[in-house]
Amino acid sequence: MATLEERPILTEATAVVPENPDGKDEPRARKVSRHKTFRSWKATPAVTLLIGLSSVATFLGVWAMVTELGWVKPVFLPSPMSVLDQGIRLVETGDLWVSVIASSTRVFTGFGLAVLFAVPLGILIGVWWPAKAIMDPFISLLRPLPSITWIPLSILWLGIGEAQKIAIVFMGSWVYILLYTYESTKRVDPILIRAARNLSANDFAVMREVVLPGALSGIISGLKVTLAISWSCVITAEMVAANNGLGALIWQAKDWGNMPLVLMGMVCISLTVLVADWIMVRIERLLLPWERNLRE
Amino acid sequence: MKDVKNKASILSAQNVFKSYKISGQKDILAVEDLSLDINEGEFICIVGASGCGKSTLLNMFAGFISPTSGRLLLHGEPIVGIEPRCGMVFQSYALLPWKTVRGNVEFGLKMKGVSPKVRRERAEYFIDLVNLGAFADRYPSELSGGMRQRVTLARIFASDPEVLLMDEPFAALDAMTRQVLQEELLRIHEDQRKTTVFITHNIDEALVLADRIIVLSSRPGRVKAIVKNTLARPRHMTVQLSKEFTELKSEIWSFVEDEVRRHGSVTPEYP
User: Can you give the pLDDT at residue A2?
Assistant: 42
Mutant choice from A199, A202, A204 vs B, greatest count of B C-beta within 10 A: A199
Question: Chain A closest CA to B193's CA: distance in Å?
Answer: 20
For B94-123, what is each residue's pLDDT tens digit? Answer: 999 999 999 999 999 999 999 999 999 999
Candidate from B84, B96, B142 with C-beta closest to A192? B96
- A213 touching B (Cβ < 8 Å): yes
For A54-104, what is each residue's pLDDT tens digit? Answer: 999 999 999 999 988 888 887 788 889 899 988 899 889 988 899 999 999
Given pLDDT bands bounded at 50, 70 and 90, which one contains residue A11? very low
User: Can you give the pLDDT at residue B4?
Assistant: 42
User: Can you give the pLDDT at residue A289?
Assistant: 87
Q: What is the mean pLDDT of residues B56-73?
A: 90
Share of chain B above pLDDT 90, in %: 36
Establish if B55 belongs to a structural domain: no
> In terms of pLDDT, which residue wins out, A72 or A266?
A266
Query: Can you give the residue ranges of every domain in chain A?
Result: 2-68, 82-295
Q: Which residue of B has its CA nearest to A194?
A: B64
Establish if B209 belongs to a structural domain: no
User: Can you give the pLDDT at residue B164?
Assistant: 93
Inter-chain contact A194–B112, Cβ cutoff 8 Å?
no
User: Can you give the pLDDT at residue A36?
Assistant: 58
Inter-chain contact A195–B64, Cβ cutoff 8 Å?
no
Given pLDDT bands bounded at 50, 70 and 90, which one contains residue B6? very low
Q: What is the mean pLDDT of chain B?
A: 86
- A42 touching B (Cβ < 8 Å): no
- Domain spanning A82-295: CATH 1.10.8.60: no
pTM comes to 0.77
Q: What is the mean pLDDT of residues A48-58?
A: 94
User: Can you give the pLDDT at residue A17?
Assistant: 44
Establish if B256 belongs to a structural domain: no
User: ipTM for the complex?
Assistant: 0.85
Question: Chain A closest CA to B2's CA: distance in Å?
Answer: 32
Establish if B189 belongs to a structural domain: no
Q: Is the pLDDT of residue B70 over 80?
A: yes
- A167 touching B (Cβ < 8 Å): no
> Which range (A126-140, A201-215, B103-117, B250-264) has the least confidence?
B250-264
Given pLDDT bands bounded at 50, 70 and 90, which one contains residue A4? very low
Structural domains in chain B (count): 1
CB pairs under 8 A between A and B: 65
> In terms of pLDDT, which residue wins out, A32 or A198?
A198
Which H, E and C letters describe chain B, residue by residue?
CHHHHHHCEEEEEEEEEEEECCCCCCCEEEEEEEEEEEECCCEEEEECCCCCCHHHHHHHHHCCCCCCEEEEEECCEECCCCCCCEEEECCCCCCCCCCCHHHHHHHHHHHCCCCHHHHHHHHHHHHHHCCCHHHCCCCHHHCCHHHHHHHHHHHHHHHCCCEEEEECCCCCCCHHHHHHHHHHHHHHHHHHCCEEEEECCCHHHHHHHCCEEEEECCCCECEEEEEECCCCCCCCHHHHHCHHHHHHHHHHHHHHHHHHHHCCCCCCCCC
Inter-chain contact A196–B96, Cβ cutoff 8 Å?
yes
Establish if B10 belongs to a structural domain: no
Q: Which residue of A has its CA nearest to B161?
A: A199
Inter-chain contact A198–B82, Cβ cutoff 8 Å?
yes
Inter-chain contact B98–A192, Cβ cutoff 8 Å?
no
Cβ neighbours of A210 in B, within 8 Å: 96
> Could you tell me the residue range of the domain that residue B139 belongs to?
95-160
Establish if B141 belongs to a structural domain: yes
> Which range (A120-129, B178-187, B219-228) has the least confidence?
B219-228
Q: What is the mean pLDDT of chain A?
A: 85
Q: What is the mean pLDDT of residues A150-179?
A: 93
Q: Is the pLDDT of residue A275 over 70?
A: yes
